[in-house]
Homo-oligomer: A and B are copies of this chain.
Amino acid sequence: MYKGYFIDLDGTAYRGKEVILETLEFVKKLHDREIPYLFLTNNSTKTPQMVVEALKSFGYPVTEEQIYTSSLATAQYVYDQNPNARIYMIGEIGLQSALTEKGLTLVEQGEEADYVVFGLDREINYEKYFQACLAIYNGATFIVTNGDLALPTERGLMPGNGALASVISASTGMEPIFIGKPNSTIMEKAVDLIGLSRKDVAMIGDNYFTDILAGIHAGIPTIYIEGGFSKREDVLTYDVQPTHVLKDLSQFEI
């Protein structure tokens, strides 16, 4: 039905440690028919290689080139603005490698930075926050890979990247630019990468507030599937509806 697909990870391709079989079968069909697809994730902490390993363990046919993370979109966004940008980064390996592989320069002192780039960092500390604030007072642009407020884990809901980054916006009064879903930036960069026009590629996801709104904001058709974050009965009450509302992808004609 579409010439290409963007597919969310947690809640769409798998749920915790369990594969979602209907999505797996759907992706295998895409692969067999050579229809292009990208996995799109707000998770900034992992490299494409790490995501590929997880997806392959579920049986997904996937290569590193088919993974698009909020870190990759952030690196592309900064690079498109200024390939010589100096960046004060807070984040983990996924963000660090995305930025350095684009040839962007990471600096240790906030005051040397053109950009503060903030991704989930479970080694966050006071000095990192302080350096980021100094950078922003000094005129740096404030970019946050994704605004997720809480992360479901086996230990409970952990603070998400949007919550951690709020220290800097609260302290400096500077609101960040968010790159990940539901913001359209990650979608625009993904559209560039897949090389199709927006009407020809569909965003598939279980979360209305990230996946579906991202598609809506970017003018990309959306496929909502049940069983994950957003409940079908809730989704049906929202003002702007997904293009398709499905139980799972077994019902979907490619």
- Which A residues lie at the B interface, using CB under 8 A? 121-126, 129-130, 133-134, 137, 149-150, 155-160, 162-164, 166-168, 170-173
Q: How many copies does the complex hold?
A: 2
Give the residue among A129, A130, A166, A171 with the most B Cβ atoms within 10 A: A171
Residues of B within 8 A of A160 (CB): 171
CB nearest to A134 among chain B residues: B156
CA A163 – CA B162 in complex, angstroms?
13
User: Are B159 and A168 in contact, CB atoms less than 8 angstroms apart?
Assistant: yes
User: Are B170 and A163 in contact, CB atoms less than 8 angstroms apart?
Assistant: yes
CA A137 – CA B153 in complex, angstroms?
14
Q: Which of B124, B129, B159 contacts A171 (CB 8 A)?
A: B159
User: A108 CB to closest chain B CB, in angstroms?
Assistant: 15
User: A88 CB to closest chain B CB, in angstroms?
Assistant: 14
Residues of B within 8 A of A172 (CB): 150, 157
CA A163 – CA B170 in complex, angstroms?
5
CA A150 – CA B173 in complex, angstroms?
10
Residues of B within 8 A of A137 (CB): 156-157
CA A149 – CA B157 in complex, angstroms?
25
Given contacts A124-B125, A172-B150, contact A163 B167 (CB under 8 A): yes
User: Are A126 and B130 in contact, CB atoms less than 8 angstroms apart?
Assistant: no
- 30 inter-chain pairs at a CB distance below 8 angstroms, sorted by A residue, are A122-B126, A124-B124, A125-B125, A126-B164, A130-B155, A130-B156, A130-B158, A130-B159, A133-B150, A133-B157, A134-B155, A134-B156, A137-B156, A137-B157, A149-B171, A149-B173, A150-B171, A150-B172, A157-B171, A157-B172, A159-B167, A159-B170, A159-B171, A162-B170, A163-B167, A163-B168, A163-B170, A166-B166, A166-B167, A167-B167
